[in-house]
Amino acid sequence: MAQYFDVHPDNPQPRALAQAARILADGGLIVYPTDSCFALGCALGNAEAIERIRRIRDLDDKHHFTLVVDEFAKLGEYVQMDNRVFRAVKSATPGPYTFILQATREVPKMMMHPKKKTVGVRIPDHRTTLDLLATYGAPLLSSTLLLPGHEEAQTDGWAIKELLDHQVDAVIDSGDCGIEPTTVIDMTGDAPEVARVGAGDPAPFEE
């Protein structure tokens, strides 16, 4: 059964986040809130947890997983950014955007698009997420919690716990966090391409 952590949205309890961080470090798969909607998260390179995410969401091998960090300065270790991309991404983070960028060698191959060698990255503007990342001390491999057959993301933490009780190891709930996934911006071409419109305003990236 999944552990359930009910945390305060403005001042998440450090003890609960420390317990969730230990679950991640021990190879677990968690559900956590973000500034767009709930997401599935695990440690980088955790092949077993990635397969669990694929089964939960019914994903194929071309799905872009997302690397979630708590600070812009940490992105440079994992993705390639020229000056144009650097400025564009920095101006929109933290926020409800996922950026598709060329991955560096620090990104596990299982996270990348198999042909393009790209990966999604994001910095959420959400207190619980940022505190969890700081407590864990490393990026998360993540995927939006959009279940097969469901048109919208799940919004109730306890309902998610009941639904995925035997498929995840923990659920962190800090109240409502919206139902729209991130806006996805592909930054690998000569100009930004809006791949999905979601919670973030796409206007800054449209020609």
What is the residue-wise DSSP string for 112-125?
Answer: S-TTT-EEEEE---
pLDDT grade for 207, boundaries at 50, 70 and 90: low
pLDDT of residue 116: 87
Structural domain boundaries, residue 90: 3-201
Q: Which residues pair with 184 in a beta bridge?
A: 98, 196
Domain for residue 62, yes or no? yes
Domain for residue 171, yes or no? yes
How far is the C-alpha of 106 from the C-alpha of 149, rounded, in Å? Answer: 34
Domain for residue 85, yes or no? yes
Total domains, the chain: 1
- pLDDT per position as a tens digit, 59-114: 987 787 899 999 999 999 999 999 999 999 999 999 999 999 999 999 988 888 87
Domain for residue 206, yes or no? no
pLDDT of residue 12: 95
Closest CA to 42 of 58, 25, 54: 25
Beta strand 97-102 pairing with 183-186: parallel
How far is the C-alpha of 207 from the C-alpha of 106, rounded, in Å? Answer: 32
DSSP at 1: -
Domain for residue 167, yes or no? yes
- pLDDT per position as a tens digit, 153-182: 878 899 999 999 999 999 999 988 878 889
Beta strand 170-173 pairing with 3-6: parallel
CATH of residue 133: 3.90.870.10
Q: How many CB atoms lie within 10 A of CB 108?
A: 18
From residue 15, how far is each of 8, 54, 71 by CA, in Å?
12, 30, 22
DSSP at 26: T
Domain for residue 180, yes or no? yes
In the structure encoding, which two tokens stand for residue 148, read together?
């097969």
How far is the C-alpha of 131 from the C-alpha of 176, rounded, in Å? Answer: 17
Domain for residue 207, yes or no? no
Instruction: Please measure the distance between the N-terminal and C-terminal CA atoms of the chain and give it in whole angstroms.
Output: 48
Residue whose token pair is 């990255």: 121
In the structure encoding, which two tokens stand for residue 171, read together?
């659920």
Mean pLDDT of 123-134: 96
